[in-house]
Chain A
Amino acid sequence: MKKYFHFICLLLLSPLFLLAQSKTGSLLIKNGTVLTITKGNLSNTDVLIVDGKIKQIGANITAPAGVKTIDATGKFVMPGIIDAHSHIGIDAVNEASNPITSEVAVGDALNPMDIGIYRALAGGTTSSHAMHGSANAIGGQCQTIKHRYGTMNPEDLRMEGAPRTIKFALGENPKRVHGEGRGIQPRTRMGVEQVIRKGLDEARNYAAAVKKYQEEKKTNPNALPPTYNRRSEVLAGVLSGDILIHCHSYRADEILMMLNVCKDYGIKKITFQHVNEGFKVAPELAKFGASASVFADWWAYKFEVYYSTAYNAAILTKNGVLTSINSDSPDYIRHLYHEAAKTQRYGGLTDEEALALITINPAKQLGIENRVGSLEVGKEADVVIFDNHPLSIYAVPQVTIVDGIIRFDRQNDADDQRLEVDPIKAIATYSRAKHDVEDDRCLDGVFEINLDWFKNE
Chain B
Amino acid sequence: MKNKLIAALAMLLLVGTLRAQVASANKGVFLLTNATIETITKGVVKGSILIQDGKIAGLGANLIAPANAKVIDCSGLTLYPGLIDAGTKIGIGEISAVSVSNDFDEVGELAPQMQALTAVNPSSPAIAVTRVGGVTTALTVPGGSGRFPGTAALINLVGYTPDQMYTGFKGIVLEFPTSAGGNRFFDQRSDEDRKKDEEKAQKRLTDIWAQALLYSKIDSASAGNPSTKPQFNPEMAALMPVVRGQMTLLVEVDKAEDIESAIKWVQARKIKKVIFTGVSEGWRVADKLAKANIPVITGPVIDLPTRTSDRYDRPYANPGLMKKAGVKVAIRSNSTENARNLPFHAGFAAAYGMGREEALRAITIVPAELLGVADHLGSLEVGKSATLFASSGDPMEPRSQIVHVFIDGWQIPLDSRHIQLYQEFLKRSPGVDK
Contacts and interface: CB of A to CB of B under 8 A. Distances in A.
A457 B334 CA distance: 24
Interface stretch (B95-103, B211-219, B242-250, B372-380): B95-103
Interface stretch (A18-26, A139-147, A236-244, A340-348): A340-348
Given A331-B302, A335-B302, A432-B306, A301 B97 contact: yes
B296 to A, nearest CB: 17
**Chain A, interface size: which category?**
35 or more
B351 A393 contact: yes
Given A279-B421, A456-B1, A342 B309 contact: no
Contacts of B426: 311, 314-315, 318
B67 interface: no
A398 B341 CA distance: 24
Interface string B375-401: 000000000000000000010111111
Interface in A335-365: 335, 338, 341-342, 344-348
A85 interface: no
A122 B11 contact: no
B247 to A, nearest CB: 28
Given A311-B418, A394-B351, A303 B95 contact: yes
A396 B184 contact: no
A339 B33 CA distance: 33
B306 A347 contact: no
Nearest to A454: B186
B97 A303 contact: yes
A309 interface: yes
Contacts of B146: none
A394 B398 contact: no
B276 interface: no
B104 to A, nearest CB: 12
A394 B347 contact: yes
A283 B94 CA distance: 30
Contacts of B98: 302-303
| Chain B contact surface mostly | loop
Most chain A beta-carbon contacts within 10 A, residue among B1, B309, B348, B352: B309
B273 interface: no
Interface stretch (B78-86, B155-163, B287-295, B310-318): B310-318
A433 to B, nearest CB: 4
A438 B97 contact: yes
Contact of B95 (A300, A342, A432, A436): A300
Interface residues of B, number: 69
A235 B313 CA distance: 42
Nearest to A448: B185
A265 interface: no
Nearest to A417: B312
A284 B430 CA distance: 11
A282 B419 CA distance: 17
Interface string B240-264: 0000000000000011110000000
Contacts of B312: 118-119, 122, 334, 417
B6 interface: no
A342 B396 CA distance: 11
A345 B254 contact: no
Nearest to B96: A438
A7 interface: no
B180 interface: yes
Contacts of A297: 338, 340-341
A334 B185 CA distance: 25
A416 interface: yes
Q: 10 smallest A-B Cβ distances: which pairs?
A: A393-B347, A311-B422, A341-B398, A302-B97, A415-B311, A300-B337, A309-B421, A438-B96, A428-B309, A344-B399
Given A431-B180, A437-B96, 17 more contacts: A172-B97, A280-B428, A282-B425, A283-B431, A297-B340, A297-B341, A300-B337, A314-B422, A331-B303, A335-B348, A345-B399, A345-B400, A345-B401, A428-B307, A430-B181, A435-B303, A435-B334
Interface of B: 1, 11, 15, 18, 94-99, 125-126, 133, 180-181, 183-186, 191, 254-257, 280-281, 300, 302-313, 334, 336-338, 340-341, 344, 347-348, 350-352, 356, 394, 396-401, 417-419, 421-422, 425-426, 428, 431-432
Interface of A: 115, 118-119, 122, 172, 279-280, 282-284, 287, 297-303, 306-311, 314-315, 318-319, 330-331, 334-335, 338, 341-342, 344-348, 391-396, 415-418, 426-438, 447-448, 456-457
18 contacts: A279-B422, A283-B432, A287-B432, A298-B338, A307-B18, A307-B417, A311-B421, A315-B426, A334-B304, A341-B399, A344-B399, A391-B398, A415-B311, A427-B309, A430-B180, A431-B306, A432-B280, A432-B306
